[in-house]
């Protein structure tokens, strides 16, 4: 799914009007109907909860007025409030005129702000994608009032005051919505942690914007949902053998962190790798042999950490990092690996910390390597903290372009950056996965997919992220989010990959 900018969203609206030969008011009606269906499913007309719809002067306010009319027709009894405005938009004016006489509509004045008890439902239709500057005056006062109330707030398209694809100044007022109901495609603002307190739980409803426009729109950002992943994982050929899916090498573990290497190894095996060899410090050798008998273990001559790089000839991909530690000798293993490898690399955890601490190593990074930092590891890699989430995304684009690599910034909506700077925001996963070892599982899974020669680097990374999150979602259904541990993810990897496998064409 593409993520359009605010400007592209306007163009998509215009293209739709042209392609379908409809008026902007008709498109607005479509958005309002979609919103009302959403609300009606959750809040029946007979609930008797007081409802206040706040409308701005533009088309977001126009949406609010059309929503008020439609809800009124469906038996709700909303109160409508409009901001004083010199030049409301044409569709605002049209929908203001279309409000039925029996529907109360007031202009907002400081002294007439309505009481908003906890039972009240507020529809925020003040500003959407057309916001061009921080809120001031009556709008600012109203947003303060909404945010101080305990009412349930549902934002139309955007929480008012939030910019669609750029940070607003830190002291700007933004509505804190519990729900944001948007149209057609997700907005970049919804995907960033710093906006979570405003956006709340969000949803996108289809309003059938022109598919040709969307198809042709050049974008820097994609939202990775089920449709976007379908068709990327080919079915296994009947005559495939273990060589088809590659022999992976994993360098992981140190005393006290052998568990990380076990989690990564098991995830790699469940990810469909043909063969797996794990280089482990001597202390991990018996553990690995017992915990993951399907993997071959190569014991290092050192007891507590990895000091030797095996001969790389047999391997189709190499993963390094989980539980590795940052000993000097281990750093030298990483240096040799970066110098010698001719196959895809997956780098995680301490391998990334070593890269961050030794800039000379970063220069050796082979092109198309896949790095999987969480935000702190990413900060160490680039050497300076991000000003905010938008700046971090810019740092991410710069980093992948400079190093010709793929980089996965982990978190909710884990973000994959491709070497050309395109960003892919993953849609699966849940906060139950914020637990030690989830990242090790991801590394193992990505290693398996990078060893599979049938997959491009981009498809391997996208599939890995999506399947990892979906395994987390399925695991959490059984364990609950709090009860989820990283090991639970592993047994769902196989079934999830099966679900994502492209079936034979139907007859
Ligand atoms: N046009 C269409 O065909 C559709 C538009 N839709 C709605 O239209 C919205 C976009 O409408 P608009 O482009 O009119 O934009 P908005 O309604 O978001 O706001 C624009 C208006 O607010 C003013 N404004 C911007 N920032 C302000 C500020 N800080 N303080 C005071 N005034 C400010 C502008 O001068 C303009 O009058 C979308 O978010 C969506 O809700 C939907 O109905 C879908 C279809
Ligand atoms: N709130 C969340 N929503 C979705 N996924 C999450 C969330 N929190 C963490 N995750 C996922 O869990 C994994 C955690 O990885 P990481 O931070 O490296 O942990 P560890 O080092 O303990 O393995 C990442 O893949 C991340 O995307
Ligand atoms: K809004």
Q: How distant, in Å, are the alpha carbons of 78, 267, 292, 465 from that of 442?
A: 48, 7, 17, 7
Mean pLDDT along residues 388-408? 98
> What tens digit of pLDDT does each residue of 100-116 get?
999 999 999 878 899 99
> Which residue's CA is minimally distant from atom 14 of ligand 2?
439
pLDDT digits (tens, 9 = 90+) for 468-499: 999 999 999 999 999 999 999 999 999 999 99
pLDDT beyond 80 at 43 = yes
pLDDT given at position 163: 97
The reply to whether ligand 2 has any atom less than 6 angstroms from the CB of 412 is yes
Q: Is residue 397 domain-resident?
A: yes
Average pLDDT over residues 200-229: 98
Write down the mean pLDDT value for the chain.
Answer: 97
Give the distance (Å) from ligand 2 centre to CA of residue 465. 11
pLDDT at 42: 97
Same domain, 178 and 317: no
Domain boundary among 156, 184, 219: 219
Helix/strand/coil (H, E, C) string of 404-439?
Answer: CCEEEECCCCCEEECCCCCEEEECCCCHHHCCCCHH
Residues 178 and 264 in one domain: no
Per-residue pLDDT tens digits for 1-10 = 999 999 999 9
Task: Identify the domain containing residue 388 by its residue range.
Answer: 229-235+245-494
Q: Which of 12, 56, 164, 213 to mutate to test the pocket of ligand 1 (most atoms within 8 A of CB)?
A: 56
Both 197 and 257 in a single domain? Answer: no
Residue 506 — very low, low, confident or very high, per pLDDT cuts 50/70/90? confident
d(CA 423, CA 474): 25
Sequence-separated (6 or more) residues with CB below 8 Å from residue 97: none
Q: Which long-range CB contacts under 8 A does 137-143 form with residues at least 24 apart?
A: 138/83, 138/84, 138/108, 138/109, 138/110, 139/56, 139/83, 140/173, 141/110, 141/113, 142/54, 142/81, 142/83, 142/108, 142/113, 143/173, 143/174, 143/175
- Confirm or deny that 241 is annotated as ligand binding: no
Whether residue 469 lies inside any domain: the answer is yes
**Confidence band of 408 (pLDDT split at 50, 70, 90):** very high
pLDDT > 80? residue 242 = no
What is the structure's pLDDT at 5? 97
The number of the ligand nearest the C-alpha atom of 6 reads 1
Residues with CB under 6 A from ligand 1: 13, 24, 27-28, 31, 56-61, 63, 89, 127-135, 139, 156-158, 183
Q: Convert the pLDDT of each residue in 427-452 to its tens digit.
A: 999 999 999 999 999 999 999 999 99
Look at residue 243 in the predicted model and tell me its pLDDT: 78
Q: How far apart are CA 50 and CA 117, in angstroms?
A: 8
> Residue 71: which CATH number?
3.40.50.10260
Residues 203 and 250 in one domain: no
Are 165 and 255 members of one domain? no
Q: Specify whether 321 is located in the same domain as 458.
A: yes
Cα dihedral sign for 283, 285, 288, 289? negative
Nearest ligand to the C-alpha of residue 123? 3
- Supply the pLDDT for residue 244: 82
Please report the pLDDT score of residue 86 as a whole number: 85
Q: Which atom of ligand 1 is nearest to the CA of 183?
A: 44
Same domain, 178 and 291: no
pLDDT of res. 507: 82
Are residues 295 and 444 both part of a single domain?
A: yes
Q: What percent of the chain has pLDDT over 70?
A: 100
Give me the helices (H) in 207-256, please.
211-216, 226-229
Ligand nearest to the CA of 160: 3
Instruction: State residue 240's pLDDT score.
Output: 84
pLDDT in tens, 113-141: 999 999 999 999 999 999 989 999 999 99
* Residue 410 known to bind ligand: yes
Strands 406-409 and 415-417 come out as antiparallel
Which ligand is located closest to the Cα atom of residue 259? 2
Residue 504 within any structural domain of the chain: no
Within a domain: 448: yes
Work out which ligand 1 atom sits closest to the CA atom of 61. Answer: 17
Q: What's the confidence (pLDDT) of residue 48?
A: 87
CATH number of domain containing 325: 3.40.1190.20
ipTM score for this prediction: 0.89
155 and 68 together in one domain: yes
Domain termination residue (choose one: 219, 254, 276): 219
Domain count, the chain: 2
* Residue 216 among known ligand-binding residues: no
| Structural domain contains residue 13 | yes
Average pLDDT over residues 390-412: 98
DSSP letter assigned to residue 122: E
Cα 265 to Cα 401: distance, rounded to the nearest angstrom: 30
Query: Does position 390 have pLDDT exceeding 80, yes or no?
Result: yes
Q: Is residue 69 part of a domain?
A: yes
Q: Which atom of ligand 1 is nearest to the CA of 127?
A: 18
The pLDDT value recorded for residue 33 is 98
Cα 33 to ligand 2 centre (Å): 37
**Helices 6-20 and 24-42, interaxial angle, to 10°?**
110
Task: List the structure tokens of 133.
Answer: 């500057």
Residue 82's Cβ-side half-sphere holds a number of Cα atoms within 13 Å equal to 27
User: For residue 80, is it within any domain?
Assistant: yes
413 is in an annotated binding site: yes
52 and 126, same domain (yes or no)? yes
**Torsions phi, psi of 67, nearest 5?**
-65, -45
- The answer to the question of whether 124 is labelled as a binding residue is yes
Q: Is 437 in the pocket of ligand 2 (CB under 6 A)?
A: yes
Distance 410 CA to ligand 2 centre (A): 6
**pLDDT, average across residues 322-336:** 98
Average pLDDT on 254-262 reads 98
Q: Cβ(414) to ligand 2 under 6 A?
A: yes
Residue 501 domain-assigned (yes or no)? no
Residues 199, 272: one domain?
A: no
43 and 96 together in one domain: yes
> In terms of Cα–Cα distance, which of 297, 292, 366, 316 is closest to 336?
366
Q: Which residues make beta-bridge pairs with 153? A: 122
φ, ψ at 204 (rounded to 5°): -115, 125
Whether residue 61 is annotated as binding a ligand: the answer is yes
**Comparing 86 with 300, which gets the higher pLDDT?**
300
């Amino acid at each position: 799914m593409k993520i359009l900018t605010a400007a592209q969203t306007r163009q998509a609206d215009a293209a739709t009007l042209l392609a379908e030969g409809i008026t902007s008011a008709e498109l607005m009606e479509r958005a309002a109907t979609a919103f009302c269906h959403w609300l009606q499913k959750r809040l029946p007309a007979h609930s008797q909860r007081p409802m206040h719809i706040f409308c701005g002067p533009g088309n977001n306010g126009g949406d609010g007025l059309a929503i008020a009319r439609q809800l009124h027709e469906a038996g709700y009894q909303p109160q409508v409030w409009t901001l004083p405005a010199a030049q409301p938009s044409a569709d605002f004016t049209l929908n203001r005129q279309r409000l039925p006489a029996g529907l109360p509509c007031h202009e907002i004045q400081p002294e007439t702000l309505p009481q908003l008890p906890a039972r009240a439902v507020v529809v925020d239709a003040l500003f959407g994608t057309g916001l061009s500057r921080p809120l001031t005056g009556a709008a600012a006062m109203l947003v303060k009032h909404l945010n101080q109330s305990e009412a349930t707030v549902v934002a139309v398209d955007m929480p008012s005051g939030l910019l669609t694809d750029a940070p607003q100044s830190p002291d700007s007022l933004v509505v804190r919505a519990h729900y944001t109901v948007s149209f057609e495609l997700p907005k970049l603002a919804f995907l960033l942690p710093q906006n979570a307190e405003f956006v709340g739980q969000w949803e996108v409803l289809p309003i059938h914007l022109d598919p040709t426009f969307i198809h042709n729109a050049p974008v820097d950002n994609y939202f990775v949902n089920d449709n976007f992943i379908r068709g990327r994982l080919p079915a296994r050929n009947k005559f495939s053998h273990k060589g088809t899916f590659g022999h992976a090498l994993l360098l992981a573990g140190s005393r006290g962190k052998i568990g990380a290497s076990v989690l990564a190894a098991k995830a790699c095996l469940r990810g469909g790798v043909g063969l797996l060899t794990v280089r482990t410090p001597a202390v991990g050798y018996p553990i690995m042999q017992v915990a993951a008998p399907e993997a071959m273990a190569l014991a290092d001559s050192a007891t507590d950490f990895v000091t030797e790089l095996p001969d790389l000839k047999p391997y189709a991909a190499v993963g390094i990092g989980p539980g590795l530690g940052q000993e000097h000798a281990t750093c030298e293993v990483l240096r040799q690996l970066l110098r010698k490898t001719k196959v895809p690399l997956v780098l995680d955890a301490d391998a990334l910390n070593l890269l961050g601490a030794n800039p000379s190593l970063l220069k050796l990074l082979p092109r198309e390597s896949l790095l999987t930092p969480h935000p702190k590891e990413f900060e160490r890699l680039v050497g300076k903290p991000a000003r905010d989430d938008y700046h971090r995304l810019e740092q991410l684009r710069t980093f992948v372009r400079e190093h010709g690599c793929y980089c996965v910034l982990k978190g909710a909506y884990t973000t994959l950056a491709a070497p050309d700077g395109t960003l892919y925001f993953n849609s699966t996963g849940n906060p139950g996965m914020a637990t030690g070892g989830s990242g090790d599982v991801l590394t193992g899974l990505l290693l398996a997919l990078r060893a599979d020669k049938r997959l491009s680097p981009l498809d391997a990374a996208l599939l890995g992220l999506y399947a990892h999150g979906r395994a987390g979602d399925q695991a959490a259904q059984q364990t609950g989010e709090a009860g989820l541990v990283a090991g639970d993810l592993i047994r769902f990897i196989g079934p999830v990959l099966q679900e994502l496998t492209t079936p034979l064409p139907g007859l």
